[in-house]
Amino acid sequence: MTVTKYRTNTGAQYWKVEIVVNSIRARQQGFRTRREAASWETKEKTRLAQGGVKIDRQITLGDYLDWWHGSFVQENPDDGVVWSRPGRTYRNHNHVRNKQHITKIKEHIGGIKLVKLDTIHTSMLVAKCRKSSRNTDGVSVSTIRKMLFMLKGAITDAVVQRKLDYNPIANLIMPDKEVADNEKVMVFEDHELDLILVEADKLCDRRWFIFPLLAIWTGMRKSEISALQWGDIDMDAPVPILRISRTLEYSNGERRPTIKTPKSKAGSRHIPLTVEIVTALKTYRAWQAEIYWKAQKKLTPDTTLIFNDAFGLVHKSVPQHRWETLLKNAGVPHRSLHKLRHTFTSKLIGTGMRLDYITSIVGHADERTTTQTYSHYFDGHKKEQLEIMQGLVSR
């Protein structure tokens, strides 16, 4: 860092401070007086001593993102591993996912100079990453949105730490999720659900009956069912409810599950339970209590409904393998376990339930997510409403 005096073409005298990193001028600042220049130089030295190096104009977006991801420090709170840096914290699975996003970004626009980054480049990224009939190796729009949110946050951190003067993608517009006819949410038909439940009811191991039953009639995610505890269920309340306040995470490996809180506030929610579900849960509780009693264990509010053979948390692939076997035995075409959640949500839409109720029950972050994901169901429901209104006018 050097402070030098210079004159302009008009003869005016100024002072400038230069910062050189790896023999390349990383920053230059001009001042009217030497005192102002010296003051700024002192502040910059303090910032540099704390690791705040101004971005080299030659650094690429890929190199910066690698540095940014590596600047997080691992911590171990009570509810699972997290990674943090000043002003930003990620859970372990998000930290791992961010690394995957960075790899994808580097593949397409990683070679761009960071100081040249613009929304044109993010539009290019979306075009190259978006999955389509021509780009079968692409990713979904929801994944692209998460990638862009991460990128925007990483550049914001550079501005906060004075590594950049401004965020060139601060006004970035996120792509909307468009659902084409061949990309519509797949669901199960009523007769298929009947076949699945009849086949599941034949199983002696009641875990793999209650699991699909909860997925069908509560819309819970697989990770939420796997982390559900008996203390989360109030079956004796005037309106029986199921509280979702935790999920199962497998970022440390599918055989090392950990319980964590939902990734968003909307994920923590209450789901009303019908009489049929309450009856099934009480029957299942009696079966589980007998299993635990034989093992000289006792059910407590902290006991999970779904357990492995060692009475611990279930491994990631187990529910999926049981589900695939169940579909095969029931003679139902294969669809993922997550499609039961789509089926439940589509049925709620079909009943004409208020949109805000549906959004809160399924745990979407906002109503926009619900309407975009299930747009074709809402369109069909609008047609029914129009027919009803047309009947009123005709009468």
Residues in the chain: 395
Question: Do residue 116 and residue 40 come from a single domain?
Answer: no
In this prediction, residue 181 has a pLDDT band, given cuts at 50, 70 and 90, of very low
Do 207 and 280 share a domain, yes or no?
yes
pLDDT at 166: 79
In this predicted model, which residue has the larger pLDDT, 101 or 395?
101
Quick check: is 183 in a domain? no
Contact 369, 359 (CB under 8 A): yes
Please give the order of strands across the beta sheet that includes 233-234: 233-234, 241-244, 269-272
Q: What is the pLDDT of residue 370?
A: 81
User: Domain for residue 395, yes or no?
Assistant: no
CA dist., res. 137 & res. 131, Å (int):
6
**238 and 345 together in one domain:** yes
Neighbours of 225 (CB within 10 A): 24
Q: Percentage of residues in the chain with pLDDT exceeding 70?
A: 82
Helix (H, G, I), strand (E, B) or coil at 241: strand
Calculate the alpha carbon distances from 247 to 36, 244, 252, 267 in Å: 55, 8, 14, 9
Check: CB of residue 19 under 8 Å from CB of residue 28.
yes
Work out the burial of residue 35: count CB atoms within 10 Å of its CB; fewer than 13 is exposed, 13-18 middle, 19 or more buried. exposed
**Burial of 344 (C-beta count, 10 Å sphere; 0-12/13-18/19+):** buried
Cβ partners under 8 Å of residue 362, min gap 6: 219, 341, 344, 345, 348, 370
Q: What's the whole-number mean pLDDT along residues 132-147?
A: 83
In tens, the pLDDT along 341-361 reads 999 988 888 888 888 898 899
Residues 131 and 205 reside in one and the same domain? no
Higher per-residue pLDDT: 392 or 245? 245
pLDDT in tens, 24-41: 455 566 777 888 878 877
CA distances from 139 to 108, 122, 142, 328 (A): 13, 15, 8, 29
Measuring CA to CA, which residue among 278, 299, 271, 291 is closest to residue 362? 271
Q: Do 90 and 35 lie in a common domain?
A: no
* DSSP letter, residue 100: H
pLDDT at 395: 54
Return phi, psi of residue 124, to 5°: -65, -40
Checking if the pLDDT of 258 tops 50, the result is yes
Strands 24-31 and 13-21, by their bridges, are antiparallel
- Looking at residue 304, the DSSP 8-state letter turns out to be B
What's the CATH number where 264 sits? 1.10.443.10
Nearest-angstrom CA–CA distance, 306 and 311: 9
Q: Quote the domain boundaries for residue 104.
A: 61-178
Domain boundary among 178, 213, 239: 178
Using only the alpha carbons of the chain, give its radius of gyration.
28
In a domain, 184, yes or no: no
19 and 82 assigned to the same domain:
no
Q: What mean pLDDT is predicted for residues 225-251?
A: 91
What is the mean pLDDT of the segment spanning 306-320? 91
Q: What is the DSSP letter of 292?
A: H
Mean local confidence (pLDDT), 200-224: 94
> Rounded distance, CA 86 to CA 71, Å?
10
The total number of structural domains in the chain stands at: 3
- Residues 137 and 244 reside in one and the same domain: no
Q: DSSP letters of 33-53?
A: SHHHHHHHHHHHHHHHHTT-P
In this structure, are 164 and 292 located in the same domain? Answer: no
The pLDDT of residue 234 is 94
pLDDT attached to residue 17: 75
pLDDT over 80 (residue 302) = yes
How would you label 98-122 residue by residue, b for 16+ Cβ within 10 Å and e otherwise?
beebbebbbebbbebebeebeeebb
The better pLDDT of the pair 226, 43 is held by 226
